[in-house]
A and B are shown apart, each in its own frame.
Chain A
Amino acid sequence: MNHNEVPSDESKDPMRESRSESSDEDIRCLLDGLHLQMFHLMEDQDLLHLLVNKQTCRAGLILARVRLHHGSERTSAEAQLPRGQPYKAITRVIETSSPHGKYFRITRHPIDPILRYFRPLTTIFGRLVPESLRVANRHWDHCLDMVVECANIRRELQSTIDSIKKLRTTLD
């Protein structure tokens, strides 16, 4: 350094101030985007909750219908639910990693009695399952997909909220 030069006060550098203002502006824009994303995710989550509720209620009503049709002719499900005999789950929820983060997905094994992958409906309720029970089963199966989707959205929503908090801390 030259002895004749006076050291400059960088904090009063106007270029530094404009750079700081523009980065704050970028952060605020990013925050706006994240807030919008958060609202979209909340909307998706509520929609899925409604759909799951609707499907569950529908399936519950169909079970009541089976009761109307058959009365005591159908053996009580409590007596038919298997106990003690191990079955392998056909439907499994697996946590998978991706470049965007972790997410849940459903895998469904094909039916294979030799490997003890049984069809739950006919194994539990017998091989003469009425159509109403099959319809109810389909409703609940669809519910599973929606619940997993709901969990993924929830995870993404939480990540978005964490990002918003961090950015706010940065601004402050």
Chain B
Amino acid sequence: MSMIFNTEWGYLEAITRGFKNGMLKHSDYLNLTQCESLEDVMISIQGTDYGLIFGGDFSQPSVEVIEKTLRERLLQQYYYIRSHSTEPLTTFLEYIRYPFMIDNVALLIAGLNNHRSIKRLLKMCHPLGFFDQLAAIEVATNSAELFDAILIDTPIAQFVPPDLPWEHINRIDVEIVRASLYRVYLENFYDYCSKLGGNTANVMKNLLSLEADRRAITIAVNAIDSDISPKQRLKMFPSCGYLPKMALANMSTLNDSDKIRDVCNMFEGYGKMFDNFERDADGMITLEDRFLMVEAKKNVQTFLQQFHFGVFYSFFKLKQLECRNIVWISECISQRQTDKINAYIPIPFD
């Protein structure tokens, strides 16, 4: 497998490892946190592996400009790898794009329900999630047409659950639609990686199981005190995680974070994720932070093995996290609240 892997994808794995080695280190983050203005941040970023991404133009420094430029670099790296890939890596890389497509579809549905213009909404879409029929969503005069005429030919169609009442999509909460689509996507991706076998299956099943558990627990916590029925909540929980079905069924009925913690602690030791964040009176470190730290650690560990597709998935996850960290640092500087600037999610490369 390793010989076959290298002949087909060895170059791409090497390129990806090179990209990963160019990611920001602890010293780079220290430089960024000591910046006093957004111009300083942009200059510091240009001193890293990003290079002259701002083109030397600092006339309009803003968090949005920084975020957009970082995203463009991520896009370039993704499409470089994607354009040089062959099957089954090509399909694997497409799976990395699907969450962005789901997010874009959710954004368009929400925006169109609130009578926003499609041009404005398309500008808000993530470029990694663009597909040809995206703009055609506006043409649909009703929700049934949205699926039957437009989405059915898109990659999203395979993730629409059969029991989702698409004809009444404008009456369903958009977050529930997104969670339902994402569940099917995650399970499909899990099955695909399992079929690939070898190191890819081992690494990706580990990562996707954590993602599934993270989503299930986050949805359970966010649905506390809402009017979402337990049956609806259970439908949104991905089932490919480490948490058994009994735990998911139990969590879907709970309306208290302590009880959800007890369930998680019983089965997979996720209970420690809930610790400390209640004592953080400022509300800054939450459950999501804990999960992001664990996810970052697992994604870094992916690179310890060779000849598998997990390196591509982990690189893009880590790169997205790096972009979000830089945006967080920029926001703190922009809002002149630098006391929490070090609360970014550390990526443990060292």
Contact = CB atoms under 8 A, between A and B. Distances in A.
Interface of A: 57-58, 60-62, 64-65, 67-73, 75-76, 78-84, 122, 125-132, 135
B124 A79 contact: yes
15 contacts: A60-B337, A62-B283, A64-B328, A68-B327, A68-B344, A68-B345, A75-B174, A76-B107, A84-B114, A126-B173, A127-B175, A128-B173, A129-B222, A130-B286, A131-B283
B8 interface: no
Contacts, number: 115
B54 to A, nearest CB: 20
Given A72-B103, A75-B103, A76-B107, A131 B222 contact: yes
Contact of A79 (B100, B110, B323, B331): B110
Interface string B100-139: 1001001110110011100011001010010000000000
A71 B324 contact: yes
B100 A135 contact: no
Interface stretch (B86-94, B262-270, B287-295): B287-295
A130 B324 contact: no
CB-based closest 7 A-B pairs: A126-B175, A79-B111, A64-B331, A135-B283, A69-B288, A128-B175, A128-B222
B325 interface: yes
Contacts of A81: 114
Interface stretch (B196-204, B223-231, B237-245): B223-231
Q: Is the interface of A mostly helix, strand, loop or mixed?
A: helix
Contacts of B320: 71
B283 A132 contact: yes
B146 to A, nearest CB: 16
A95 B77 CA distance: 59
A79 B106 CA distance: 10
A20 B124 CA distance: 75
Interface of B: 99-100, 103, 106-108, 110-111, 114-116, 120-121, 124, 126, 129, 173-176, 178-179, 218-219, 221-223, 226-228, 282-284, 286-289, 292, 320, 323-325, 327-328, 331-332, 335, 337, 340, 343-345
A75 B106 contact: yes
B337 A65 contact: no
A129 to B, nearest CB: 6
Nearest to A129: B222
A126 B174 contact: yes
Contacts of A83: 114-116
B340 to A, nearest CB: 6
A95 B221 CA distance: 40
A116 to B, nearest CB: 16
B176 A127 contact: yes
Contact of A127 (B218, B227, B283, B328): B227
Given A75-B107, A83-B115, A127-B227, A64 B283 contact: no
Nearest to A113: B227
Nearest to B291: A69
Nearest to A126: B175
B179 to A, nearest CB: 7
A135 B331 CA distance: 18
A68 B324 CA distance: 5
Given A61-B331, A65-B284, 15 more contacts: A60-B335, A61-B284, A73-B99, A75-B106, A76-B107, A79-B116, A83-B114, A126-B174, A126-B176, A127-B173, A127-B175, A127-B228, A128-B179, A130-B218, A132-B288
A73 B110 CA distance: 13
A79 B340 contact: no
- B100, B228, B283, B287 — which one has the most chain A CB atoms within 10 A of its CB? B283
A130 B222 CA distance: 5
A119 B325 CA distance: 32
B324 A82 contact: no
Contacts of B111: 75, 79-80
Nearest to B335: A60
Contacts of B223: 127-128
A67 B328 contact: yes
B135 to A, nearest CB: 15
Nearest to B236: A128
